[in-house]
A and B are shown apart, each in its own frame.
Chain A
Amino acid sequence: MQEPSFLILTALAAGPQHGYGIMTDVAQISYGRVKLRAGTLYAALDRLSADQLLEIDHEEIVDTRLRRYYRLTPAGRSRLAAETARLRANAAAAAKRLRLAGN
């Protein structure tokens, strides 16, 4: 899984969010390292929706503008959990090797 997709799923793990909320949350989660722009975000949302990892939660109008909220599907939640476990295992293995090397 690519990092932007992982971060988008992570942003939605705590609850539904709209597009701009996901963008700001991803920047926060990644400590400012990953800044999604609209084109990248919506290409990712389109792909993740097609893969049935997220879905539309609800819509609202704020200041005459449409806000669409997205939420994780059960498949998206399991996928995020599996990816988290995989990254954790990799990080643990890397840390162990570094300790063995005396770093």
Chain B
Amino acid sequence: MAPVGLEARYRRLLRWFPADHQAVHRDEMLGVLMESAEPGRSRPRLADSVDLMLGAARIRVRPRQALSDRSGWRDALAVYSIAAPVLVLTSTLIGWLVVVVWARLTGQATFYASYTDLAATSLLHRASIGLLIEGQGLVAVLALLGLRRWAAAAAAIPALYFGIAAILQLYTPLSVGIPISVLYIPFTLVAPISETVALLASPGPRLGRQLMRRRDWALVAVGSAAAALLTLNFDAVLQRGGWDVYVVGVTLAGIVAGLLLLVLWLSSAHGKRLALLFAVLGYGLLLSDGFIDRSGSWGADTVNGAAGQVVVLCLVAAVCYRTWRRSRSATGGPGQGQT
């Protein structure tokens, strides 16, 4: 029998596999690994370690059921209908809090003008920001109370308001007077529109709340913090005129948080659906500068816009490809499946 040290190390490596896979295959895999190890070996080969980690990653990213499953999408939309307004509200509040604390501590005017120049701007500006923040607050509260139709109405009003304003101000000579900086705020358009769709197309937030586990709420908290930091970050890039240590640090923190969300979510078909839905919201965040010509800085806008498009297009392509492969496999056509 091989040394105990080797077995303990293999056990640690097998923890990379999803819990349900470990429950079924851990002892069996351990047997295979120990049987194939040379006598006297006390540490796994590097190639075996890498192979185990890659095998675990393959199993984690593989959907256990078809992503096209209709009831699965209804469930994912139900979760989105409650998690998205909470995420948008908390990320907006975190961003606002950071700006206020920054101003108090440093005494400097902060870069996130949209939140801080309320006193100096028009009534319409204040009303628009109020509608955005308090509107999301109202949607979140109504969703948490399980009032689907009221929450949908609360989400639809800002969607129509900002949608019409954006179209008029961006694509016609008309102006309804909403400061363009309000339309810069990430989520201004994408959040209310996507929330309205989710609330109307799913059984609603009551089911979503039942489906949300503690881990999902933790992910919403991480997502909120990441979204707030990235929002401030985009603004900082434009205000500071380029990238510096702060901006790079925040970007890396946002990317790490995003990767964490993906790794945790992509281990199930349900998680993949949620990742796709929240990618739409993330698209709004990444593309917020790209939607609108922000102070004429098309360099940054194009980069942010392109990043958003690449992320969403990759996810959509991956889901479409997997769904196509799974459906071909299920129908048993020639040359089917990814086997």
Contact = CB atoms under 8 A, between A and B. Distances in A.
Contacts of A46: 21, 25, 59, 62
Interface residues of A, number: 30
Nearest to B52: A39
A20 B53 CA distance: 19
Contacts, number: 86
Interface stretch (B31-39, B108-116, B138-146, B167-175): B31-39
B64 interface: yes
Interface string A47-73: 110110100000000110111100000
Contact of A40 (B31, B33, B51, B334): B51
B339 A51 contact: yes
A48 B59 CA distance: 12
A42 B33 CA distance: 11
Contact of A19 (B29, B337, B338, B339): B29
Given A20-B36, A67-B31, A53 B52 contact: no
Given A63-B1, A65-B30, A65-B34, A47 B339 contact: yes
B32 A23 contact: yes
User: Which secondary structure dominates where chain A touches chain B?
Assistant: helix
A10 B36 CA distance: 21
Contacts of B62: 46-47, 50
Contacts of A5: 339
Nearest to B48: A37
Given A65-B27, A68-B28, A38 B34 contact: no
B32 A43 contact: no
Which size bracket describes the interface of B in this complex? Answer: 20 to 34
User: Which secondary structure dominates where chain B touches chain A?
Assistant: helix
B114 to A, nearest CB: 47
A86 interface: yes
A2 interface: yes
B33 A38 contact: yes
Contacts of B1: 63
Contacts of B55: 37-43
A51 B54 contact: no
Nearest to A59: B28
A20 B33 CA distance: 8
Interface in B1-46: 1, 21, 25, 27-36
Nearest to B47: A37
A86 B334 CA distance: 10
B64 A39 contact: no
Contact of A66 (B28, B47, B64): B28
Q: Which 7 A-B pairs have the closest CB atoms?
A: A39-B55, A65-B31, A39-B51, A37-B51, A39-B52, A43-B55, A19-B32
Interface of B: 1, 21, 25, 27-36, 47-48, 51-56, 58-59, 62, 64, 329, 332, 334-335, 337-339
